[in-house]
Amino acid sequence: MKRAVSQNQLLAWAAGLLVLASLPSLATAASRLDGHGDAQRLPHGFADWVQFGAALTASSLLAAMVTARTVGHEGATRRRLLTQRTAVAACTLSWLYTTTPASSPLARHLGTAVYGVVLAWLAIEVCRASDARLSSGFDIADRDQRLRTWGITSWFYLLCVAGSFLVTMSEQLLRTAGFDNALLVGLDQRSTLGLVGPAEGVLAFIATVAIEDVVIVAATATLLAKARRPTWHIYTAICLVEVAVHAYMGISALAFAVLTASRIWLYRRYQGFLPLAVAHLVFNISVLLKWFAPGLPTMVITLMLATSAILGVAPRRAGKTGATA
């Protein structure tokens, strides 16, 4: 008989996932900020060592949890064996990334994407082991509910657009008011991620979506709810981590608290992380187009995406619920 998971264990898992999700980003931002000063205080390779420790921990935990779930059953199915071997392969790639110097920015971002996928898989395994069901949002049979779930994708895409506008406007207001120092000028998202081309951008944003939407929002909210934490605890913990992850943007990172709160509400209300992940990835790719292919075609594509999102909201409004838990 499966032993019940205590509230302390649930809280420990939630805290551990948040640490693994945020530490590499914080270390990278801290290293880049330290490099802007006259005297460097952080040791050489600080961010690489933090990434190494995080990937080593996540890979080891994932391998152990998948092995425990798939081994020891008489007549193990082919699906279980495939799951186990895929997990081992993912962990091996993650380990290779952390122990081998990247030969190019593309290789480095490929490793980051692998880490994001490994961490998202670990979060799913943790929720499964804790009897805290992590719903994708599309594991339903009802066509109307599935349409409304796609409506959530449209909602969140529009929220991403609104959040980006809010961040841009807050930066402009701070500059107008003469608070340039509060912006940490020079540490924008593109430079902090070290993006030199669209391929690196796609890989970096795959990691971003996997970590933020699956781990920080969905898994953490699910585990904290399972641990019977008050709603304001859930919102506060996740929003604080999201603001910290974007702290390289300065005080304007506070605007991400609004976007994160709406993301938590959507997930808790409609129980599905895939709609959020899809919308987030599509929005990020539209940002990549503006960075690396500015011009009329990109503007037309962005307008078409926004129009499709607005039209996609209609199915969701046809009913009060989306995907069910």
Per-residue pLDDT of the chain (325 residues; tens, 9 = 90+): 456 778 889 999 999 999 999 988 888 777 776 655 555 677 777 777 888 888 888 888 888 888 777 776 555 566 666 766 676 666 666 656 655 555 566 677 777 888 898 899 999 999 988 888 887 776 665 666 666 777 778 888 888 888 888 887 877 787 777 766 655 544 566 666 667 778 888 888 899 999 999 999 999 999 999 999 999 999 999 999 998 888 777 777 888 898 899 889 988 888 788 888 988 888 888 888 887 777 666 666 667 666 666 665 544 444 444 443 3
| Ramachandran angles phi, psi of 100, nearest 5° | -120, 125
Q: How many CB atoms lie within 10 A of CB 175?
A: 13
The Cα 187–Cα 194 span in angstroms is 10
pLDDT at 325: 37
Report CA 194 to chain centroid distance, whole Å.
Answer: 18
d(CA 108, CA 121): 20
Burial zone of 322 (CB within 10 Å; 0-12 exposed, 13-18 middle, 19+ buried)? buried
Placement of tokens 């037309």 in the chain: 300
Length of the chain: 325
Give me the pLDDT at residue 291, please: 77
pTM of the model: 0.83
